[in-house]
């Protein structure tokens, strides 16, 4: 019985050594040298959170469709936290100036009053104001010069726009002016709504420098006509009034494009275009060169089908993803050509174009996609490296809340952009080329078989040792 503890320890050590779980717990290497390609990144060093719009090289050389083989390392090889963000349209604010036609009119309205006045307006068929006048001319109370109200016509283009400001220009010879004015707006010159009220002033010092408050802001609204009345100050026939219309334009994210030359396909009328599985193709088209041609075609990829009888011979099947008629024609000296077609975002290591007409010259294939953006924490020692190109990599990205907590979308949009350097290739990493992904999968299967073999061997040894132990106990 004295040798039982020794046998038990021997069995435990043998079981631990032969267990595939013990082998599987060892984490795989995840160092900069484990990735085939890298891009050096340059940042200012002033910001903690930085962004990078992924360059085309990343999509051409990454080995996974979801970009799980992206890594960020600092100069010491430490990994940096990053988040992969899908591109979104960006809003851009701008302003458009609309010209205004001015009509001065003398009314019977007392100074500072906003009561409705009886104005006679002559308009053309499109609504353009031709003349404005009071139906009865007042005897007293009119300002010098015979004008106390300005009627504004913004033109037919104002019907499709909103106005939120007016900008005033003094007439020639006037450098100083102060007044308080009220703006009323209308669509029919009959019913008026008060839109705003402001003080206008132009001040000039002894050096002939002008300090001007020449703008009236109000809540954006659509209107065709307006009238300007004076609460304080002397009415003035301005040299010009400009209406400002705010514009909010959604700018689409920048698109990346790739042109691929054809190779012979597996079947007649097929053309193959080697691409990258990392490219999220959103639009696709063809470059027909100078030829005049109409080309009905299908776009898709090949699928390998195993032999039903279990042999080693497999067959290939064409699986279409989209169909279109591509063309390029010259008619009456003008060129007509088909554009790119939109498709559901797809990842393919190679694309196949199957044409219906034999004998046509093989066109080049054009792929278009919108690159994603990497938001990362620049908390390591620069320079930084964006590494990629590994088929068996585990996902390395984090959520945005773990990289830039509390940041709003507007703040993310204006983050400092890192600058990527030239592509670098590591010869120590796994060899790339056609079938490299299959080789990686085969290697993974071999590792699994080896682990199961070790498990079975361990079970056999354990059974033998248990039998010896029981025999000794008897």
Q: What is the pLDDT of residues 259-297, one digit of tens each?
A: 999 999 999 899 999 999 999 999 999 998 877 889 999
DSSP state of 461: H
Query: Mind listing the pLDDT tens digit for each residue in 409-456?
Result: 889 989 999 999 999 998 755 444 444 545 555 555 566 667 767 777
User: What does the pLDDT read at residue 429?
Assistant: 54
**pLDDT: which is higher, 108 or 239:** 239
Whether 238 shows a pLDDT value over 90: the answer reads yes
Encode 181-204 in three state secondary structure.
EEEEEECCCCCCEEEEEEEEEEEE
**pLDDT: which is higher, 277 or 89:** 277
Whether 3 shows a pLDDT value over 60: the answer reads no
Query: Mind listing the pLDDT tens digit for each residue in 13-36?
Result: 444 444 444 444 445 789 999 999
Query: Mind listing the pLDDT tens digit for each residue in 373-414?
Result: 999 999 989 999 999 999 999 999 999 999 999 999 889 989
Q: Which two tokens stand for residue 349?
A: 């290591």
Average pLDDT over residues 202-230: 92
Whether 8 shows a pLDDT value over 60: the answer reads no
Q: Which of 111-115, 127-131, 260-264, 338-342 has the lowest mean pLDDT?
A: 111-115
Lookup result for tokens 């290591």: 349
Whether 140 shows a pLDDT value over 70: the answer reads no
DSSP state of 160: G
* 456 phi/psi in degrees, rounded to 5: -65, -40
Spatial CA neighbour of 226 closest among 211, 234, 210, 238: 238
What is the distance of C-alpha 457 from the center of its chain? 55
User: What does the pLDDT read at residue 23?
Assistant: 44
What is the distance of C-alpha 472 from the center of its chain? 74
User: What does the pLDDT read at residue 14?
Assistant: 45
Asked if 350 contacts 276 with a C-beta cutoff of 8 angstroms, the reply is: no
User: What does the pLDDT read at residue 109?
Assistant: 54
Average pLDDT over residues 172-188: 92
**pLDDT band of 128, cuts 50, 70, 90:** low
Lookup result for tokens 């003398």: 106
Asked if 315 contacts 307 with a C-beta cutoff of 8 angstroms, the reply is: yes
* 13 phi/psi in degrees, rounded to 5: -65, -40
Decide yes or no: CATH 2.60.120 for domain 256-369. yes
User: What does the pLDDT read at residue 375?
Assistant: 96
Asked if 350 contacts 266 with a C-beta cutoff of 8 angstroms, the reply is: no
d(CA 100, CA 241): 6
d(CA 226, CA 248): 24
User: What does the pLDDT read at residue 87?
Assistant: 83
Which residues does 47 contact at the CB level (< 8 Å), separation at least 6? Answer: 378, 415, 416
Query: Mind listing the pLDDT tens digit for each residue in 463-474?
Result: 778 777 777 776
Apex 280 CA angle, 277 and 283, nearest 5: 125
User: What does the pLDDT read at residue 367?
Assistant: 96
**pLDDT band of 125, cuts 50, 70, 90:** low
Average pLDDT over residues 237-263: 90
Spatial CA neighbour of 151 closest among 183, 178, 173: 183
d(CA 273, CA 64): 18
Average pLDDT, the chain: 83
Average pLDDT over residues 57-73: 96
Q: Which two tokens stand for residue 188?
A: 């029919």
Query: Mind listing the pLDDT tens digit for each residue in 182-198?
Result: 999 998 888 899 999 99
Whether 54 shows a pLDDT value over 60: the answer reads yes
d(CA 435, CA 23): 27
Whether 254 shows a pLDDT value over 50: the answer reads yes
Percent of the chain at pLDDT exceeding 70: 79
**pTM exceeds 0.75, yes or no:** no
d(CA 249, CA 89): 10
Which residues does 334 contact at the CB level (< 8 Å), separation at least 6? Answer: none
Encode 38-73 in three state secondary structure.
EEEEECCCCCCEEEEECCHHHHHHCCCCCCCCCEEE
- Establish how many alpha carbons lie within 13 A of residue 157's alpha carbon, considering only the half-sphere containing its beta carbon: 10
User: What does the pLDDT read at residue 250?
Assistant: 75
Domain with CATH 2.60.120.260 in the chain: 95-250
**pLDDT band of 1, cuts 50, 70, 90:** very low
Decide yes or no: CATH 2.60.120.260 for domain 95-250. yes
**pLDDT band of 117, cuts 50, 70, 90:** low
Give residue 77's region: left, alpha or beta (phi > 0; psi -120 to 50).
left
């Amino acid at each position: 019985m004295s040798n039982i503890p020794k046998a038990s320890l021997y069995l435990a050590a043998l079981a631990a050594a032969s267990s595939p779980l013990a082998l599987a717990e060892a984490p795989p290497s995840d160092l900069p040298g484990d990735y085939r390609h890298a891009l050096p990144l340059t940042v200012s060093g002033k910001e903690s959170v930085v962004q990078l719009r992924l360059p085309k090289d990343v999509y051409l050389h990454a080995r996974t469709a979801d970009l799980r083989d992206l890594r960020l390392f600092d100069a010491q090889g430490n990994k940096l936290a990053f988040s992969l963000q899908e591109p979104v349209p960006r809003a851009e604010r701008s302003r458009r100036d609309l010209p205004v036609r001015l009509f001065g009119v003398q009314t019977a309205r007392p100074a500072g009053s906003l009561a409705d006045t009886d104005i006679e307006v002559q308009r053309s068929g499109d609504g353009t104001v031709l003349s404005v006048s009071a139906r009865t001319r007042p005897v007293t109370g009119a300002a010098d010069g015979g004008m106390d109200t300005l009627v504004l016509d913004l033109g037919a283009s104002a019907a499709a726009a909103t106005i939120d400001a007016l900008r005033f220009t003094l007439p020639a010879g006037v450098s100083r002016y102060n007044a308080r004015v009220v703006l009323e707006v209308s669509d029919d010159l009959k019913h008026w709504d008060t839109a705003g009220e402001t003080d206008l002033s132009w001040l000039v010092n002894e050096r002939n420098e002008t300090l001007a408050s020449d703008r009236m802001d109000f809540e954006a609204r659509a209107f065709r006509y307006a009238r300007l009345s004076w609460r304080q100050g002397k009415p003035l026939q301005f040299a010009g009034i400009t209406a400002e219309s705010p514009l909010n334009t959604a700018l689409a994210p920048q698109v990346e494009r790739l042109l691929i030359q054809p190779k012979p396909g597996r079947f007649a009328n097929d053309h193959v275009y080697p691409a990258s599985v990392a490219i999220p193709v959103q639009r696709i088209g063809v470059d027909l060169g100078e030829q005049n041609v109409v080309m009905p075609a299908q776009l898709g990829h090949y699928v390998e089908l195993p032999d039903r009888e279990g042999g080693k011979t497999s067959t290939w099947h064409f699986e279409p993803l989209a169909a279109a008629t591509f063309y390029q024609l010259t008619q009456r000296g003008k060129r007509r050509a088909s554009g790119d077609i939109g498709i559901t975002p797809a990842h393919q290591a190679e694309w196949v174009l199957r044409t219906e007409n034999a004998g046509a010259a093989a066109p080049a294939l054009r792929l278009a996609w919108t690159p994603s953006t990497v938001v990362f924490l620049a908390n390591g020692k620069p320079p930084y490296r964006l590494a990629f190109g590994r088929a068996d990599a585990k996902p390395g990205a984090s959520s945005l809340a773990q990289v830039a907590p509390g940041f709003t979308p507007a703040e993310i949009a204006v983050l400092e952009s890192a600058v990527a350097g030239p592509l670098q290739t590591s010869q120590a990493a796994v060899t790339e080329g056609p079938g490299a992904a299959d080789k990686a999968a085969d290697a993974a299967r071999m590792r699994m078989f080896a682990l199961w073999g070790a498990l079975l061997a361990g079970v056999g040894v354990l059974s033998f040792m248990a039998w010896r132990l029981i025999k000794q106990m008897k």
